[in-house]
Amino acid sequence: MQKITVICVGKLKEPFYRDAAAEYVKRLGRFCKIEVIELPESRLPEDPSPAEIEKALSAEGASIREKLPRSGAVIALCIEGTLLSSPALAEKISDFGVAGKTQLTFLIGGSVGLLPEVKALADLRMSMSPMTFPHHLARIMLLEQIYRAYQIAGGTRYHK
């Protein structure tokens, strides 16, 4: 059974986000061992300077590195990443497993993204869309897409 870890910068404050995340975590429990790790997001002023953004990214990047598992594949969500269809994501997850990478770690940065050095650690940089989404919503979308990937792999009707 694969182990999926989703490392997220920021906590889900709104009940509807927490409920949606909990629902997909529950559903995923049938297919993989899933863990969601929430890390603190750096506070920034309304109009942060480049130096303030860099400091926040560095602090968040250090927190992410501390939580990264020692093995497996790392998938960083970033806008410049590869766009994948749901079937292509299902295939990637399967391919990682076939290659012996049964630990998959997905990274979701905070409101200013991920530190470039953290992105460089990734085996795959993945974009959800060329559109910009709140990072809290990206977590729900990612969990749903991982669930969908397992449904596709299992040949169920969910994807249709």
State how far the Cα of 61 lies from the Cα of 124, in Å rounded to an integer.
17
Mean pLDDT of the chain, nearest integer: 93
Mean pLDDT of 30-38: 96
Which 8-state DSSP code applies to residue 13?
-
Phi, psi values for residue 119, rounded to 5°: -60, -35
Residue 129 pLDDT > 70, yes or no?
Answer: yes
Mean pLDDT of 6-24: 96
pLDDT tens-digit series, residues 130-148 = 888 888 899 999 999 999 9
Q: Which domains are delineated in the chain?
A: 3-42+52-153 (3.40.1280.10)
Task: State the pLDDT confidence band at 160, using cuts at 50, 70 and 90.
Answer: low
Tell me what pLDDT residue 133 has. 84
Tell me what pLDDT residue 159 has. 67
Tell me what pLDDT residue 134 has. 85
Percentage of the chain beyond pLDDT 90 is 82
DSSP letter for each residue of 84-113: --HHHHHHHHHHHHHTT--EEEEEE-BTTB
Residue 24 pLDDT > 80, yes or no?
Answer: yes
Contact indicator for 44, 112 with CB cutoff of 8 Å: yes
Residue 75 pLDDT > 90, yes or no?
Answer: yes
Which 8-state DSSP code applies to residue 155?
T
For 77, the 3-state DSSP assignment is strand
Mean pLDDT of 67-89: 94
Contact indicator for 135, 2 with CB cutoff of 8 Å: no
pLDDT tens-digit series, residues 79-127 = 999 999 999 999 999 999 899 999 999 999 998 999 999 999 999 999 9
Mean pLDDT of 38-57: 93
Tell me what pLDDT residue 157 has. 81
Contact indicator for 157, 31 with CB cutoff of 8 Å: no
